[in-house]
Amino acid sequence: MQKIGVLTSGGDAPGMNAAVRAVVRKAIYHGVEVVGIKRGFAGFIEGDMAPMNRSSVADIIQRGGTVLRTSRSEEFRTPEGRALAFENVERYGLQGLVVIGGDGSFRGAKLFAEEYDIPVIVIPGTIDNDINGTDYSIGFDTAVNTAVGAIDKIRDTATSHERTFVIEVMGRDSGFIALSAGLAGGAETVIIPEQPVDVDVICKKVSKGFKQGKLHSIIVVAEGAIRGIELAKQIKLQTGFECKPTILGHLLRGGSPTVFDRDLASRMGAKAVELLLSKVSCQMVGTLRGDIIGVDFCEVISVKKPIDLEMYRLVDILAI
């Protein structure tokens, strides 16, 4: 293998740059050329591509976002769009592809690999951490740390004013950020899409807490379970307590990646190149109990990653 392409797709995640850096420098170490594909699959279709070298990835390991930029491409979902992308594979002489992104990116990569028989390795880069087959995805640790930092600050105000705060984090279909941040931030309640929402139970819990002498109540909610503004309104209506919503939103995607995410991304990027050089295709680079491994696409795409229900129950136990 003499030349490979690398792209970032879908939502950006802190640590993507560290992964790109590792792919480029590991490939160069083995005498393999690298082409950077800009703006994800959209740039792949349009031929927005350029050679990368060691200097291309200098001083990016500490930066959030992605220097290759990213997008979501409806056109790549079509056979015609993928055919245009393959024309650029031939034009640039690519013999392998590394895709860094989430579940939607993986599905597109799988189709492309199967249709055109080109080796493709994917790296999980999503703050949601909802990719099956890996303990962690790039960006999750940074996002959770950002959320916990915000929770700690809001708790100061919540205590000062003896109020309830609803803190909404990203997680349209996944509660991993809310659960981890809620547990680490000492939240009284965590609400996630994977578990049913009972507003009456939440309101009773808030009222009970204040009767027991609690000075505040922190509720962390994933956006896909119920919107924070709506929940805050219902809590105030049913309990009479002042309840303030805070939406962290895209704040969680930005910022310099943590040491954990930089290490993880670097190891995953290097492993992706190793798999391609070993003539492996249609695998995701994952981490299992600290080891960096290859996982078949079928194990990644066909099964939804389960939430840790013991961790979910622990939030309630520790909030007593």
Q: Is 52 annotated as a binding residue?
A: no
Share of the chain above pLDDT 90, in %: 92
Rg (CA), the chain: 22
With H, G, I as helix, E, B as strand and everything else as coil, classify residue 231.
helix
Query: Tell me: the pLDDT tens digits for 223-256?
Result: 999 999 999 999 999 999 999 999 999 999 999 9
Looking at every residue in the chain, the average pLDDT score rounds to: 96
How do the domains of the chain map onto residue ranges? Answer: 3-139+257-301, 142-253
Q: Which of 251, 35, 272, 291 is nearest to 149 (CA)?
A: 251
Cα angle 160, 232, 243 (rounded to 5 degrees) comes to 20
User: What are 70-86's pLDDT values in tens digits?
Assistant: 998 999 999 999 999 99
Does 104 appear as a known binding residue? Answer: yes
| E strand or H helix at 264 | helix 259-277
pLDDT at residue 213, as a whole number: 84
| Cβ atoms of 15 and 285 closer than 8 Å | no
Instruction: Name the CATH architecture for the domain at 142-253.
Output: 3-Layer(aba) Sandwich (3.40)
Query: What pTM was computed for the model?
Result: 0.96
Ligand-binding annotation for 267, yes or no, is no
Instruction: Tell me the C-alpha distance between 206 and 213, whole Å.
Output: 11
- Identify the DSSP state of 278: T
Instruction: Give catalytic residue positions.
Output: 128
Q: What is the distance between the terminal CA atoms of the chain, rounded to a whole angstrom?
A: 58
- 223 known ligand binder: yes
Task: Identify the pLDDT of residue 301.
Answer: 87
Distance of CA 118 to the CA centre of its chain: 26
Nearest to 121 by CA among 305, 300, 253: 300
Sequence-distant (≥ 6) Cβ neighbours of residue 125 within 8 angstroms: 8, 10, 13, 15, 16, 19, 100, 101, 102, 137, 138, 139, 265
CA dist., res. 108 & res. 116, Å (int): 12
Range scoring the smallest mean pLDDT among 43-52, 85-94, 212-221, 228-237: 212-221
Structure-token match 């919540």, residue found: 158
In this chain, the answer to whether the domains covering 3-139+257-301 and 142-253 adopt an identical fold is yes
Flag whether pLDDT at 320 surpasses 80.
no
Q: What is the CATH number of domain 3-139+257-301?
A: 3.40.50.450
Q: How far is CA 311 from CA 209, 242, 314, in A?
A: 21, 29, 5
